[in-house]
Amino acid sequence: MTNKIEISNKTKEAVLKLQQTEITEHAIYMNLSKRVKKQSDKEILQRIAKEEKMHSELWSKYTNKSLKPQKFKVFIYSLMSIIFGYTFVIKIMEKGEGVSQEMYEELAKEIPVASKVYLEEQEHEHALIEMLDEDRLQYVGSMVLGLNDALVELTGTLAGLSFALQNNKLVALSGLITGISATLSMASSEYLSARSEGNTNAKKSALYTGIMYIFAVILLVLPYLTFPSKEYLYALGTMLLIVVLIILIFTYYISVAKDLPFKKRFVEMATISLSVAALSFVIGILVKKFLGIDI
């Protein structure tokens, strides 16, 4: 017969929340470890998962309840790991745990072992996370190069062509031709640049640059293929909205995965892309007016 540990209702509620978090994160880490190819990272994730389960079992002594992982949360984080990589997901989880610091301090007043658990969360888990070495994060520079160049160049090109041609189908055709050509050019330039610097993974650098570039091309041209031919202003507005969303999502990804400031990088990148678009739109108007070209 186990002895029931008496704690206040408020403390029990907080412990239940922690217990649920720990067992859910145990399932998330185990799920991630199954997808990781690198053995060292797999072992790190399994070790973190083991610690999370131990903490959950510790809290169960105070709640006298056995909880199961939140399946939907496990699914969402697994999906995010496929899109953004497991390092991003782990860092997001790590930031979420920072909210629990005050909770641990309150718990320690009734449950002294809470202080020890908090230290383990801070020292062991965070130290292990720093050891992770996800392949794609080594090529963030190439990804940024491809995306930045695509957004600036394509945003300007499509904005200028929108008024100059005033036909979505023609703008889409021109944008695709320009985008595909620029993708091949950027990828080959990145390959040659990486090779000249002695990078043994020059092909991967070029691949990541090319992938990010063509990804941006497809998304930016999509509005011109969706809207009717003459509704070029709607297509232009939608394209600019997509540009801002891409910058928002990618900047957030980089800021989390690489622990970099978000706001400054987002404002800088958005300002450059939208300024180029505005300038190119004006150039399109001037070209159409002074050259007298009417399509």
pLDDT of residue 18: 86
pLDDT in tens, 196-232: 877 777 887 788 888 888 888 899 999 999 999 889 8
Residue 49 has pLDDT above 60, yes or no: yes
d(Cα 260, Cα 280) in Å, to the nearest integer?
31
Q: What is the predicted pLDDT for the residue at 68?
A: 92
- Per-residue HEC secondary structure of 164-206 comes to HHCCHHHHHHHHHHHHHHHHHHHHHHHHHHHHHCCCCCHHHHH
pLDDT at 13 > cutoff 70:
yes
Model confidence pLDDT, tens digit, residues 118-173? 877 776 666 666 666 666 666 666 677 677 777 777 888 888 888 778 899 999 99
Please name the amino acid found at residue 269.
M
Q: Please tell me the distance from the alpha carbon of residue 69 to that of residue 22, in angstroms, as a whole number.
A: 9
At residue 98 the predicted structure's pLDDT band, cuts being 50, 70 and 90, is low
Report whether 272 contacts 280 (CB < 8 A). no
Residue 28's pLDDT band (boundaries 50, 70, 90)? very high
Residue 24 has pLDDT above 90, yes or no: yes
Take residue 173 and report the two structure tokens written for it.
Answer: 């055709």
Residue 104 pLDDT more than 50? yes
Q: What is the mean pLDDT of the chain?
A: 80
Average confidence (pLDDT) over 55-80: 90
Higher pLDDT among residues 21 and 198, named by residue: 21
Q: What percent of the chain has pLDDT over 90?
A: 13
96, 256 contact by CB (below 8 A): no
Which segment, 24-38, 79-93, 95-109, is predicted with the most confidence on average? 24-38
